[in-house]
Structure 1
Amino acid sequence: MSAPIARPAAALSAGIEGIGYWSRGLPDWNAARAYALGQADAVADAPTRPAPTLLAANERRRAPETVAVALEVALAACQAAGRDPAGLSSVFASSHGDMQITDYMCATLASEPRTISPTRFHNSVHNAAAGYWTIGAGAMRPATALSALQASFAQGLIEALSQIATGEDAALLVGYDGGGYGPLAEIAHSQGLLGGALVLTRAREGLPTLRAWLGESAQSEPGRLAQREAGNASAPMLPLFDALAARHDRVALPAGAGRSLWVELSHD
């Protein structure tokens, strides 16, 4: 990474209460942290798809894998934080949403539009994960779904930090993406299945703290998680998770328009 720039006085800040993580072979934050530190390999018999307990069995079956991974990490972060999911505002950030369903919708509309599945149709919207989350958690708090391609997680982090700065006690941030399908995969590259989540709250003593600000573009040295999941569209968030695992003090996340979101960490 290029030489760090000074943190401005106006940096947004928050404490980190809980972390959630899932990728194939690393089904929770403990496994991911051990892998990031070089202390363990991927879990050989880990499931290839999460099964979020927040949803009833029939809903789990109908939910696409992108929704499943988003809810899996969201609930894990809330449980790690000791927070009731229903009480948190949430931000769901995904570069592409569910490309498998998007590919199905486009192909079906082009060939046999009258046969399109209502279930798949309602899963095609970009806020599908946020919708499943609010229903499953019984959450009446605001839920935001956003996309900014490679900058999705950084922009989601800015949104969550802004909510805390303007009065929310805590906010849930979730980043996730699945694999590319069909012609879309040629222009919207993504592989595997990946999700990461943070429960952020007002900074206080005893919690790891992050401070974030927009600055000049830079690229963090990729850690083991970032290298392992480099093909996924949500991989740009992984330098932060590598830094949390290894207790590094600063990373830069792509934020769009030739800028980076610089994140400074203190590990209490």
Structure 2
Amino acid sequence: MTLRVAIEGVAFWASRLPGWELARAVMRGERTAPDAPSARPAPALLAPNERRRAPDTVTLALEAAARACEAAGRNPSDLPSVFASTHGDVAISDYVCSTLATTPTLISPTKFHNSVHNAAAGYWSIGTGSLAPYTSISAHKYTFGAGLIEAAAQAVCAQRPVLYVAFDSESRGVLATMAPSRGLLGAAVVLAPAGQAQQHRSLILTTEPVAECHPTPARSAAAPLVAENALAPCLPFFEVLAMSQPRTLCLALSRQTALNVEVN
């Protein structure tokens, strides 16, 4: 299978790399990252009260989504979207499980509401007033590649731009031993069908069966800053986007399926 799409807008936010401009400069070796992590993002899309109640996963995803749409010059409410997260919100899931096991009558309705995997996508559609369809997916350690090919397929099949957002936050509690993740990492791109894009880079995505998939490793100074986050496999893709020359990289879709991405 071959998919041809273009990237209209890019966004990236991590605890030590808060914003695509800084992240790109660090990936290029032009700047160093700040020593202290930044506070979680505060997306203007949410009203102050909602912003305070929203979990890290939601504020992270919405910040990345809004910045990608802004970079693409697209109206957020017009775009179908794909939201991908390796674990969802492990901290809230751990809270829900432990509270149900000990004091079930004291469970927080707000936290229960935010525990579903599509919480970020739901907040996005409400905040933007969008009636466009959204997809929320997870594929464990293959999540970023799975989300990318899903968004690209939707853009090609529907012949319209699609917003792709991927994010993971800090794991806590007992569940963190099974679903580890440290810090905050969110990224987004607006993909458009080849020939319809307003600007920026083009992608050619092909899938390939292999005996064992060996994804392209991250090599920039940004790698150790996000290495412990569950979404760290996305970094090689953004390292290639940070460079100006054409390159090809490999992402994993499964242990025996490679996603080859040619960036021009």
- When the two structures are superposed, what TM-score results if normalisation uses the length of structure 1? 0.92
CA contact (8 A) 2:99 2:106 kept: yes
Helix, strand or coil: the match of 1:264?
A: strand
- Confirm whether residue 226 of structure 1 aligns to residue 223 of structure 2: yes
Aligned length: 257
Structure 1 residue 262: deviation in Å?
Answer: 0.9
- Structure 1 residue runs of 5 or longer lacking an equivalent are 1-9
Q: 1:150 — aligned with what? A: 141
- The residue identity in structure 2 corresponding to 1:234 is L
Cα distance in structure 1, aligned partners of 2:122 and 2:36 = 31
Helix, strand or coil: the match of 1:197?
A: strand
Q: 1:249 — aligned with what? A: 247
Query: RMSD across aligned C-alpha pairs, in angstroms?
Result: 1.4
- The residue identity in structure 2 corresponding to 1:222 is A
For residues 110-163 of structure 1, the C-alpha deviation after alignment (integer angstroms, 9 at most, x for no partner) is 000000000000000000000000001111100100000111111111111111
Q: 1:99 — aligned with what? A: 90
- Structure 2 residue runs of 5 or longer lacking an equivalent are none
Equivalence map 1:180-191=2 (5 Å): 180-191=171-182
CA contact (8 A) 1:226 1:242 kept: no
Cα distance in structure 1, aligned partners of 2:175 and 2:232 = 18
Helix, strand or coil: the match of 1:166?
A: helix
Q: 2:162 — aligned with what? A: 171
Cα distance in structure 2, aligned partners of 1:111 and 1:46 = 34
Indicate which of 118, 125, 128 corresponds to 1:127.
118
Q: 1:208 — aligned with what? A: 201
Structure 1 residue 27: deviation in Å?
Answer: 1.1
Helix, strand or coil: the match of 1:132?
A: helix
Q: Please say which of residues 42-51 and 61-70 is displaced more in the overlay.
A: 42-51
Cα distance in structure 1, aligned partners of 2:205 and 2:11 = 20
CA contact (8 A) 1:93 1:156 kept: yes
- The residue identity in structure 1 corresponding to 2:218 is P
**Percent of paired sites with the same residue:** 47
Helix, strand or coil: the match of 1:180?
A: coil
Q: Please say which of residues 47-56 and 106-115 is displaced more in the overlay.
A: 47-56
Q: 1:4 — aligned with what? A: none
Q: Please say which of residues 201-210 and 13-22 is displaced more in the overlay.
A: 201-210
CA contact (8 A) 2:9 2:200 kept: no
CA contact (8 A) 1:91 1:156 kept: yes
- Confirm whether residue 32 of structure 1 aligns to residue 23 of structure 2: yes
Structure 1 residue 46: deviation in Å?
Answer: 6.3
Q: Please say which of residues 84-93 and 152-161 is displaced more in the overlay.
A: 152-161
